[in-house]
Amino acid sequence: MLHEFLSTNRSEILRHSWDRVTARSPQQPLAEALRFGVQLFLDDLIATLRTGGDRSDSISRDATLHGERLQKLGFAVAQVVHGYGDVCQVVTQLAIEAHTNIDVDEFRILNRCLDDAIAFAVTEHGRLQDVSNSTGETDRLGVLAHELRNSLQTAEIAYQVLRAGQVAIGGSTGEILGRSLATLHLLVDRSLVQVRLDAGIRRDETIDVPSFLEETAASGSLAALERGVSLTVDRGDLGVTVEGDRHLLRSAVSNLLQNAFKFTPDGGHVQLRSVASPARVVIEVQDECEGLEPSGLPTLFDGRHKHSRAKTGMGLGLVISRRAIEAMGGTLTARNHPEAGCVFTVDLPRLQAAR
């Protein structure tokens, strides 16, 4: 009978199944989690076959536990399916090699157990993934609402003071109002970019890089003036083009400039420049932020970075900026500059090279 064959050859079945698992996921403890799930399923399968094929609560319980464990370790749902499929394939192959006949009823039970295990594991994996996505989205919306509320409250207070005629619009209160409105504009623009990225909306076109930098610098110069820093622009060689979504690229570069203005002290200097090679186009934003903590560089673009040597509050703009650049086939990186600043680098494929 099949359960006797499985019990007799349990060690060999596990060994072959684990070899398949390790080949796909050699890292520890990821492979151990998959191996543990394989062992649970095989033991549950033997117990189910021994009792005549009644639906086993242990399969649903252990498969749900396995799906939970794999989701928390970051496994994709495909890994859940592959692990169970390995057991079925190894059992079938060894039975053929040993000339062991599997009757129709036993084969039906084997497949039903396989289907049940996959269904429960995938369901739990998907449920936890939905919860994780929902929590992440709630956190993101909470941060956005908090930033919007702060900027809006500041703008309202400044407006009330100006309306009462207590101060002139050209003074510091007017600057506060203008800065708050600029922040609100940046937050709304950043949110729209994230919505477009999540929805996969792209409007690619040919972008002339020197003209693009000139347009970006024109709008950025006002923000630099409000922050009390200077901005210089090196447009690079004429005729350099890239292909991509202009709105995504403008949002990403503008966000880099806003961060540079924010973290550069009064009287400091920010540079926006472009350098092209036959295959690539590099756009760089260099500031005087006193540099970044080396320990913070690995987490700078994943939303966990919370500080620099100068000020606090990098925000989520860098996360969205990187997504925007990667959507155009490029990369966004950061490095410390020897002159106590940092450089953010946008690297994109040059259009002529693609053609």
For the chain, give the number of residues: 355
20: tokens are 């398949």
DSSP state letter for 294: G
Residues forming a β-bridge with 334: 344
Report in angstroms the alpha-carbon separations of 37 from 26, 40, 53, 85, 297.
16, 5, 20, 12, 36
Q: Output the pTM of the full model.
A: 0.52
For the chain, which residues make up each domain, given as ranges?
2-134, 140-199, 204-354
pLDDT tens across 98-139, in order? 887 777 777 777 777 777 777 777 777 667 766 655 555 555
Instruction: Find the helix packing angle between 30-50 and 10-24, rounded to 10°.
Output: 150
Per-residue pLDDT, 210: 93
Q: What is the longest distance spanned by two Cα atoms in the chain?
A: 97
pLDDT in tens, the chain (355 residues): 777 888 888 888 888 877 776 776 655 555 666 677 777 777 877 787 777 766 667 777 777 777 777 767 666 656 666 667 777 778 878 888 888 777 777 777 777 777 777 777 777 766 776 665 555 555 566 556 666 776 777 777 777 777 877 677 777 777 777 777 877 877 787 777 777 777 777 788 899 999 999 988 887 887 788 788 999 999 999 999 999 888 889 888 988 998 898 889 989 999 999 999 999 999 999 999 887 777 666 667 765 444 443 333 445 678 888 888 998 889 999 888 877 788 999 999 998 754 4
Q: What is the pLDDT of residue 314?
A: 45
Q: Which pairing describes strands 241-245 and 230-234: parallel, antiparallel, or unpaired?
A: unpaired
Q: Cα–chain-centroid distance for residue 151?
A: 27
Q: Which pLDDT score is estimated for 50?
A: 78
CATH of domain 204-354: 3.30.565.10
Can you give the pLDDT at residue 24?
64
Q: Of the CATH numbers 3.40.50, 1.10.3470, 1.10.490, 3.30.70, which one belongs to the domain with range 2-134? A: 1.10.490
Two tokens at 177? 């109002």
pLDDT at position 286, please? 93
Beta strands in the chain (DSSP E): 204-208, 230-234, 241-245, 269-276, 280-286, 331-337, 341-349
Residue 282 is predicted with a pLDDT of 96
